[in-house]
Chain A
């Protein structure tokens, strides 16, 4: 069964450092997303990406965050200068269309710890 894959599974970084989280969405999907889940909290929408541009972002997704699709398969989330409060599980997701939440598939997550 096709799946969304994410790397790394866990990263520990020092406050102020840049972090790049990588994702390979399902191959025939066109819409890509990042969500995050702070420990013990809800899964929260960060950003959606389609046709090489951001289509929507939440208030969490400030100037410290950026996304990119550098080639035909990868989708990345960059955090420029990490803060302690960025510690969370980051989920990449993808869907074939933008209709119906039923088509959104999530990866296993990248656990980011900022120290």
Chain B
């Protein structure tokens, strides 16, 4: 089955810590990799996306994809209490140019304590 597996957490860190969130996937056809942030009972909010392997940085957030090991990571530097949320990784294929069918991980609940 084409799946994305994610460390379940929950993860609790002190403010200012570096947070590492990780996923693995099994479908070699996945080409796009996303991280969404979801607050309780709210919709997923796109944080970052990466196409194929490599790193991408946006402020305090860095997304990393290693296609050889099928490993997806999100790093949060200088974590803040406002970063407390569930983080979802998601992937999609590049099938016929249609990349909208996202396969999500289950999510990791992160709490950043002041």
Contact = CB atoms under 8 A, between A and B. Distances in A.
A55 B91 CA distance: 19
Contacts of A31: 100
Contacts of B97: 98-99
Interface stretch (A14-22, A41-49, A66-74): A41-49
A98 B102 CA distance: 12
Interface size class on chain A is 20 to 34
B45 A106 contact: yes
Interface size class on chain B is 20 to 34
B101 A56 contact: yes
Contacts of B106: 41-42
Interface of A: 4, 31, 33, 35, 41-45, 48, 55-56, 58, 89, 91, 95, 98-102, 104-109, 111
